[in-house]
Amino acid sequence: MSSAKSVSSNQERFLSFSLGIEEYAVPLLAVREVIALPEYTAVPYTPPYFLGIMNLRGQVISIMDLRQKLGVKPGVNTETAVIICDLNGNSIGVVVDSVNTVLNPAATDISDKPEIQSNRPTDYITGVYRKDKKLVLFLDLFKSLSLEDHQAIKKSHDGAAKKVA
């Protein structure tokens, strides 16, 4: 029994979600919680995919529409949700069309990301998983953010902290 347990403990689990008609996933350890789309305050001079900041039990969190960030058309009849993720000490809310399930793939079931010819960086794609007849792209949200995105998150958190203080 202990050998089966050690095998399963080596497998990383992922939270899968939909953006448009495609399915994506992020490491479950990076996910703090999933909530409904809350009211938020827009922050001027930020990229259009940054919706603004929200108050989550006294903590100021930036909200980013991952669909806009990745250039994906939102799905129809969506169950829009916000995945609250911890990224190197900062929390960020990521808007997705719907949250699907927790995946527990074997490491052998995850393929390396394909070589993609693009004028935009794609190093935020960490792998591809075949789930039934669909492909699920595994994402590293931290790498999907540009330097400007990280600065916008920090600026919105710092500005909100000054208002509270």
What pLDDT digit, counting tens, does each position of 1-41 carry? 433 433 444 578 999 999 998 999 999 999 999 999 999 99
Which comes out higher in pLDDT, residue 116 or 15? 15
DSSP 108: G
Q: Where are the domains of the chain?
A: 7-164
User: Phi and psi for 67 in degrees, rounded to 5?
Assistant: -65, -50
Burial class (CB within 10 angstroms; exposed 0-12, middle 13-18, buried 19+) of 6:
exposed
Residue 146 to residues 103, 136, 151: CA-CA distances in angstroms?
27, 23, 9
**pLDDT of the residue at 118:** 62
Cα separation, 20 vs 64, whole angstroms = 16
Q: What is the pTM of this model?
A: 0.81
- Cα dist. 109→59, 114, 136 in Å? 38, 15, 11
Task: Tell me how far the alpha carbon of residue 82 is from its chain's centroid.
Answer: 9
Contact between residue 101 and residue 34 where contact means Cβ atoms under 8 Å apart: no
CATH architecture observed for domain 7-164:
Beta Barrel (2.40)
3-class DSSP assignment, residue 31: strand
